[in-house]
Chain A
Amino acid sequence: GENVEQHPSTLSVQEGDSAVIKCTYSDSASNYFPWYKQELGKRPQLIIDIRSNVGEKKDQRIAVTLNKTAKHFSLHITETQPEDSAVYFCAASIMDTGRRALTFGSGTRLQVQP
């Protein structure tokens, strides 16, 4: 089955700096890669996703890049703000099959220092 590894497990940055979280996956058939943000005591919420037919996607201060050859993808947050502090999860799955379930990374706790 799919295995997703996520690094780092914790990340502390100063407000205004950039943050980068990296994930690798094992199944070359995976073609959907979402990122979820989970604030303390809350549910995971999708912040951005990318499919394997594109290499990069951007949404305001958030961007995701995908390298299919190396089987890794990254989340980039620019101009970080205190409200970006949360746990971020990457995930991978194979779309267009009956399963569609996600395999998650172990999470990165991002702390933005004001």
Chain B
Amino acid sequence: NAGVTQTPKFRVLKTGQSMTLLCAQDMNHEYMYWYRQDPGMGLRLIHYSVGEGTTAKGEVPDGYNVSRLKKQNFLLGLESAAPSQTSVYFCASSYTKDTQYFGPGTRLTVL
């Protein structure tokens, strides 16, 4: 099992550009999450999904959109990137045992 994977690992964008981050899990987990991690602020929840076809807002959803068309994939989109979105993005998934498994992260820089 690959567990939770994220694509890409690194990305540099210019202000106003768009991009999509892909999270994939092969553990048949129902729940998937996107977090961002900034220095001194821990991990903050952007959006999450409790099953295929469902999404919900987290703590810091502005400027991001998500989709969960397939159970194993959770996509995070930035329509018009801003420097404030420079961060490390982590995807996570969980089943009913509550333990969340994290992906390796995507380091995004917006210039």
Contacts and interface: CB of A to CB of B under 8 A. Distances in A.
A40 to B, nearest CB: 12
- Interface residues of A, dominant DSSP: loop
Contact of B43 (A9, A32, A44, A46): A44
B42 A45 contact: no
A34 B99 CA distance: 8
A27 to B, nearest CB: 13
Interface residues of B, number: 24
Interface stretch (A52-60, A61-69, A101-109): A101-109
Interface string B8-46: 000000000000000000000001010100001111110
Contact of B31 (A45, A49, A100, A104): A100
A53 B31 CA distance: 23
Nearest to A1: B59
A11 B59 CA distance: 28
A101 to B, nearest CB: 5
B42 A95 contact: no
B90 A43 contact: yes
Contacts of A98: 50
A105 B42 contact: yes
Interface of A: 1, 6, 9, 32, 34, 42-46, 49, 89, 93, 95, 98-107
